[in-house]
Structure 1
Amino acid sequence: MDTEPTAPDPVTMTTDLTVGGMTCAACVNRVEKKLGKLAGVTASVNLATGRARVEHPADIGAEELVAAVERAGYTAAVPEPPGGARPADDAGEAAGPDGGTEGGADREERHRLVVTALLSLPVLAVSMVPALQFVNWQWLCFTLTAPVVFWSAWPFHVRALRGLRHAAATMDTLVSLGVVASFAWSTYALFLGGAGEPGMEMAFSLLPGAATDAPAIYLEATVSVPLFVLAGRYLEARARRGTGEALRSLARLTAKEVAVRENGTERLVPVEELTVGQVFVVRPGERAATDGQVVKGSSAVDLSLVTGESEPVEVGPGSAVVGGAVNAGGLLLVRATAVGADTQLARIAQLVTDAQAGKAKAQRLADRVAGFFVPVVLALAVTTLGFWLGAGADAQPAVTACVAVLVVACPCALGLATPTALMAATGRGAQIGVLVKGPQSLEGLQHLDAVVLDKTGTLTSGHMSVARVTAVPDGLGEDAVLRLAGAVEQGSEHPLGRAVAAHARRELPGEDLPEVHEFRALTGRGVSGRVENRRVEVLAPGDDLSGPLAEALAAAEKAAHTPVLVCVDGVEQALIEVGDVVRPGSYRAVERLRRLGVRPVLATGDREAPAQAVADALGVTDVYARRSPEDKADLVRQLREQGYRVAVVGDGVNDAAALAGADLGIAMGSGTDVAIGAADVTLSRGSIEALADAVQLARHTLRTIRTNLVWAFGYNVVTVPLAMVGLLNPMLAAAAMSLSSLLVVGNSLRLRAWQPAPARRRIR
Structure 2
Amino acid sequence: DYNDEETNPSQIMAAVDAIGYGATLKEQGNTASKNSMQEEWDRRQKRMEEEQKEKKSNLVYSLILLVPLMIVAMGPMMGLPFWQGMEWGVISAITQLVLTMMILFFQRSFFIHGWKALFKKAPNMDSLVALGASAAFGYGLYAMYKMAYGFGFGDMEMVHGAMHSMYFESAAMIVTLVSLGKYLEARSKSKTSDALGKLVDLAPKNATVIRNGQEVQVNAEDVMAGDIVLIRPGQRIPVDGIVISGHGYVDQAAITGESIPVEKEEGDPIISATMNVNGTFQFRATKVGDDTTLAQIIRLVDEAGNTKAPIARLADKVSGIFVPIVIGIALVTFIVWLVSGTSFEFALSNAISVLVISCPCALGLATPVAVMVGTGKAAENGILIKSAESLETMHKVDMIVLDKTGTITSGNPSIHDIVVFDPKYDEDSFLRLAASIETGSEHPLAKAIVLEAKARNLVLDGLENYVALSGKGLKAKLEGKEYVAGNQKLMEEEKIFLSKPIKDYIHKLADQGQTPLLFACEDKVLGIIGVADTIRQSSIQAIRAFK
TM over 0.5: yes
Please tell me whether the aligned partners of residues 251 and 261 of structure 2 are also in contact (alpha carbons under 8 angstroms): yes
Select the residue among 404, 418, 431 that pairs with 2:356.
404
Q: 1:138, CA displacement in angstroms?
A: 0.7
Matched, 1:470 2:416: no
- Once the two structures are superposed, residues 681-732 of structure 1 have per-residue CA deviations (whole angstroms, 9 ceiling, x without a partner) of xxxxxxxxxxxxxxxxxxxxxxxxxxxxxxxxxxxxxxxxxxxxxxxxxxxx
| Structure-1 separation of matches of 2:422 and 2:483 | 16
User: Which residue number in structure 2 is paired with residue 507 of structure 1?
Assistant: 449
- Once the two structures are superposed, residues 521-546 of structure 1 have per-residue CA deviations (whole angstroms, 9 ceiling, x without a partner) of xxxxxx99975433669732568xxx
User: Which residue number in structure 2 is paired with residue 148 of structure 1?
Assistant: 102
| Structure-2 separation of matches of 1:169 and 1:308 | 45
- Do the aligned partners of residues 356 and 398 (structure 1) sit closer, same or farther apart at CA in structure 2, a change above 3 Å counting? same
User: Which residue number in structure 2 is paired with residue 540 of structure 1?
Assistant: 497
| Structure-2 separation of matches of 1:378 and 1:165 | 14
User: In structure 2, what residue type is equivalent to 1:278?
Assistant: V
User: Which residue number in structure 2 is paired with residue 25 of structure 1?
Assistant: none
Matched, 1:159 2:113: yes
SS across alignment from 2:526: strand
Q: 1:278, CA displacement in angstroms?
A: 1.8
| Structure-2 separation of matches of 1:185 and 1:359 | 34
Please tell me whether the aligned partners of residues 13 and 24 of structure 2 are also in contact (alpha carbons under 8 angstroms): yes
Please tell me whether the aligned partners of residues 183 and 218 of structure 1 are also in contact (alpha carbons under 8 angstroms): yes
Please tell me whether the aligned partners of residues 88 and 252 of structure 1 are also in contact (alpha carbons under 8 angstroms): no
Please tell me whether the aligned partners of residues 299 and 315 of structure 1 are also in contact (alpha carbons under 8 angstroms): yes
Give 5+ residue unaligned stretches, structure 2.
153-159, 402-414, 452-459, 468-473, 485-490
Please tell me whether the aligned partners of residues 385 and 402 of structure 1 are also in contact (alpha carbons under 8 angstroms): no
SS across alignment from 1:289: coil
Q: 1:228, CA displacement in angstroms?
A: 2.1
Structure-to-structure mapping, 1:513-552, within 5 angstroms? 513-515=463-465, 532-534=479-481, 539-540=496-497
Q: 1:233, CA displacement in angstroms?
A: 1.8
Structure-to-structure mapping, 1:478-517, within 5 angstroms? 478-479=430-431, 481-482=433-434, 507-508=449-450, 513-515=463-465
Matched, 1:183 2:120: no
Structure-to-structure mapping, 1:60-79, within 5 angstroms? 60-70=7-17, 74-79=21-26
Please tell me whether the aligned partners of residues 294 and 320 of structure 1 are also in contact (alpha carbons under 8 angstroms): no
- Do the aligned partners of residues 433 and 558 (structure 1) sit closer, same or farther apart at CA in structure 2, a change above 3 Å counting? farther
Structure-to-structure mapping, 1:721-760, within 5 angstroms? 758-759=542-543
SS across alignment from 1:279: strand
- Do the aligned partners of residues 467 and 290 (structure 1) sit closer, same or farther apart at CA in structure 2, a change above 3 Å counting? farther
- Do the aligned partners of residues 75 and 188 (structure 1) sit closer, same or farther apart at CA in structure 2, a change above 3 Å counting? same
- Do the aligned partners of residues 70 and 340 (structure 1) sit closer, same or farther apart at CA in structure 2, a change above 3 Å counting? closer
Tell me whether 101-110 or 175-184 shows the greater mean CA deviation.
101-110
Please tell me whether the aligned partners of residues 208 and 218 of structure 2 are also in contact (alpha carbons under 8 angstroms): yes
Structure-to-structure mapping, 1:324-723, within 5 angstroms? 324-325=273-274, 335=283, 337=285, 338-353=287-302, 369-385=318-334, 390=340, 395=346, 398=350, 401-408=353-360, 468-470=418-420, 472=422, 475=425, 477-479=429-431, 481-482=433-434, 507-508=449-450, 513-515=463-465, 532-534=479-481, 539-540=496-497, 566=520, 574-576=526-528
User: In structure 1, what residue type is equivalent to 2:198?
Assistant: S
| Structure-2 separation of matches of 1:557 and 1:215 | 87
User: In structure 2, what residue type is equivalent to 1:144?
Assistant: V
RMSD across aligned C-alpha pairs, in angstroms? Answer: 6.0
- Do the aligned partners of residues 299 and 758 (structure 1) sit closer, same or farther apart at CA in structure 2, a change above 3 Å counting? same
User: Which residue number in structure 1 is paired with residue 44 of structure 2?
Assistant: 94
Please tell me whether the aligned partners of residues 87 and 251 of structure 1 are also in contact (alpha carbons under 8 angstroms): yes
User: Which residue number in structure 1 is paired with residue 49 of structure 2?
Assistant: 103
- Do the aligned partners of residues 272 and 153 (structure 1) sit closer, same or farther apart at CA in structure 2, a change above 3 Å counting? closer
Please tell me whether the aligned partners of residues 366 and 415 of structure 1 are also in contact (alpha carbons under 8 angstroms): no
Give 5+ residue unaligned stretches, structure 1.
1-53, 199-210, 451-464, 491-497, 518-526, 544-549, 593-756
- Do the aligned partners of residues 246 and 760 (structure 1) sit closer, same or farther apart at CA in structure 2, a change above 3 Å counting? same
Q: 1:577, CA displacement in angstroms?
A: 6.8
| Structure-1 separation of matches of 2:498 and 2:275 | 45
- Do the aligned partners of residues 566 and 300 (structure 1) sit closer, same or farther apart at CA in structure 2, a change above 3 Å counting? closer
Select the residue among 231, 234, 240 that pairs with 2:189.
240
User: Which residue number in structure 2 is paired with residue 277 of structure 1?
Assistant: 228
Please tell me whether the aligned partners of residues 157 and 173 of structure 1 are also in contact (alpha carbons under 8 angstroms): yes
SS across alignment from 1:254: coil
| Structure-1 separation of matches of 2:507 and 2:21 | 70
Q: 1:384, CA displacement in angstroms?
A: 4.5
Please tell me whether the aligned partners of residues 281 and 332 of structure 1 are also in contact (alpha carbons under 8 angstroms): yes
User: In structure 1, what residue type is equivalent to 2:238?
Assistant: A
User: Which residue number in structure 1 is paired with residue 409 of structure 2?
Assistant: none
User: In structure 2, what residue type is equivalent to 1:185?
Assistant: Y
User: In structure 1, what residue type is equivalent to 2:38?
Assistant: P
Please tell me whether the aligned partners of residues 93 and 103 of structure 1 are also in contact (alpha carbons under 8 angstroms): no
Please tell me whether the aligned partners of residues 181 and 364 of structure 2 are also in contact (alpha carbons under 8 angstroms): no
Please tell me whether the aligned partners of residues 72 and 166 of structure 1 are also in contact (alpha carbons under 8 angstroms): yes
Structure-to-structure mapping, 1:190-205, within 5 angstroms? 190-193=144-147
SS across alignment from 2:26: coil
| Structure-2 separation of matches of 1:573 and 1:531 | 16
| Structure-2 separation of matches of 1:469 and 1:84 | 51
Please tell me whether the aligned partners of residues 138 and 196 of structure 1 are also in contact (alpha carbons under 8 angstroms): no
SS across alignment from 1:76: coil
Please tell me whether the aligned partners of residues 250 and 264 of structure 2 are also in contact (alpha carbons under 8 angstroms): no
Kindly tell me the number of residue pairs found equivalent between the two proteins.
469
- Do the aligned partners of residues 483 and 175 (structure 1) sit closer, same or farther apart at CA in structure 2, a change above 3 Å counting? closer
- Once the two structures are superposed, residues 560-613 of structure 1 have per-residue CA deviations (whole angstroms, 9 ceiling, x without a partner) of 899978456x9x7833378xx877669x99xx9xxxxxxxxxxxxxxxxxxxxx
Structure-to-structure mapping, 1:200-279, within 5 angstroms? 215-258=164-207, 268-275=217-224, 276-279=227-230
Please tell me whether the aligned partners of residues 245 and 281 of structure 2 are also in contact (alpha carbons under 8 angstroms): yes
| Structure-2 separation of matches of 1:759 and 1:447 | 14
- Do the aligned partners of residues 373 and 294 (structure 1) sit closer, same or farther apart at CA in structure 2, a change above 3 Å counting? farther
User: In structure 2, what residue type is equivalent to 1:127?
Assistant: A
| Structure-1 separation of matches of 2:384 and 2:181 | 33
User: In structure 1, what residue type is equivalent to 2:10?
Assistant: E
Tell me whether 168-177 or 77-86 shows the greater mean CA deviation.
77-86
User: In structure 2, what residue type is equivalent to 1:129?
Assistant: G
In the superposition, the TM-score normalised over structure 1's length comes to 0.47
Matched, 1:171 2:125: yes
User: Which residue number in structure 2 is paired with residue 207 of structure 1?
Assistant: none
Q: 1:374, CA displacement in angstroms?
A: 1.9
| Structure-2 separation of matches of 1:563 and 1:397 | 86
User: In structure 1, what residue type is equivalent to 2:185?
Assistant: E
- Do the aligned partners of residues 165 and 279 (structure 1) sit closer, same or farther apart at CA in structure 2, a change above 3 Å counting? same
| Structure-1 separation of matches of 2:183 and 2:146 | 37
| Structure-1 separation of matches of 2:421 and 2:361 | 77
Q: 1:478, CA displacement in angstroms?
A: 0.8
Please tell me whether the aligned partners of residues 323 and 343 of structure 1 are also in contact (alpha carbons under 8 angstroms): yes
Q: 1:372, CA displacement in angstroms?
A: 1.1
Please tell me whether the aligned partners of residues 100 and 171 of structure 2 are also in contact (alpha carbons under 8 angstroms): no
Q: 1:129, CA displacement in angstroms?
A: 2.0
- Do the aligned partners of residues 514 and 282 (structure 1) sit closer, same or farther apart at CA in structure 2, a change above 3 Å counting? closer
Percent identity for Structure 1 against Structure 2: 21
| Structure-1 separation of matches of 2:342 and 2:252 | 74
Matched, 1:132 2:77: no
User: In structure 2, what residue type is equivalent to 1:758?
Assistant: A
- Once the two structures are superposed, residues 630-656 of structure 1 have per-residue CA deviations (whole angstroms, 9 ceiling, x without a partner) of xxxxxxxxxxxxxxxxxxxxxxxxxxx
- Do the aligned partners of residues 75 and 478 (structure 1) sit closer, same or farther apart at CA in structure 2, a change above 3 Å counting? same
Q: 1:174, CA displacement in angstroms?
A: 2.4
